[in-house]
Amino acid sequence: MDMPMDIQHQAMGYDRTATMFSPEGHLLQVEYAEKTVRLGSSSIGMVCSDGVFILADKRTEDKLVVKGSVNKISEVDSHIIASSAGIFSDARILIERAQLFSQQHRVTYNSPIEPELVIKEIANMKQQFTQYGGARPFGVSMMIAGINGKKGEVFVSDVTGNYFSYYTNVIGENDDKIKEELREKYKQDLSIKQGVKLALEIFEKVQGSKFNIKKFELAYIPKETAKLKKLEGESIKEL
């Protein structure tokens, strides 16, 4: 009886290091890390007519956990926010690197950094861990949203170190279902309020009975002020 190809690859050791290609041209450790990302809680980022936002499912319901100690969305700079899906400790390292890089840019050039420079720095760091031995890949996808001048921008970097700019995108569990909904319903002239409402409706549809707005965190940046604002749980409805 023939063994399945993925089992053969494991038996032959192609999945023992991120630097070894399988005969089909796959980096199996990287692909395993991508599966980890899809187990993480979801975040939707969106470019709107009046700014950008990220809406994230914190997926924390334990009454023993202090509410303010769990943050799915992080401030990189006053005009840039980041969210992640996958191994949160991996994400923390990348976010701290992004924060440092952003502040170094302010000190050096006396101006706010462009969001694309931040995601490029993170993507380059991820790529290094798919090319050199002795360390595993970062098991995390990163979403960056920010204001560049008067223009909203959203970028997503995957495990491999690739990144792309999007009008709207999602990372984490059920990403395929959520992307289908976004492709169908997203319009570039949506305001932040309308975009957040759409994102919540999509989450509610996809999660079904598991949906609970108390688990969600929202961070948005209006174009006019380029200053971050945050809301959680029931207060999101007030927006």
State the residue range of the domain holding 145. 41-238
Count, in order, helices (H) and strands (E) of the chain: 7, 10
**Mean pLDDT across the chain:** 90
pLDDT score recorded for residue 12: 62
Q: How many CB atoms lie within 10 A of CB 28?
A: 20
- Decide if 184 is inside a domain: yes
Domains in the chain: how many in total?
A: 1
User: Which pLDDT belongs to residue 115?
Assistant: 97
Compute φ and ψ for 25, nearest 5 degrees. Answer: 90, 20
Residue 18 lies in a domain: no
Q: Tell me: the pLDDT tens digits for 142-166?
A: 999 999 998 999 999 999 999 999 9
Q: How many CA atoms lie within 13 A of 63 on its CB side?
A: 0
The answer as to whether 26 is a domain residue is: no
- Whether 75 maps to a domain, the answer reads yes
Q: List pLDDT tens digits, range 104-141.
A: 999 999 999 999 999 999 999 999 988 877 788 899 99
pLDDT in tens, 16-39: 777 788 888 888 888 888 889 999
Q: Is 159 among the domain residues?
A: yes
pTM, 2 dp:
0.90
> Stretch 69-94: mean pLDDT, rounded?
93
Q: Where are the alpha helices (DSSP H) in the chain?
A: 5-11, 28-37, 88-109, 115-128, 175-185, 192-207, 235-238
Q: How confident is the model at residue 9 (pLDDT cuts 50, 70, 90)?
A: low
Q: Is 9 domain-assigned?
A: no
* Domain harbouring 218, CATH code: 3.60.20.10
Cβ atoms 82, 217 nearer than 8 A? no
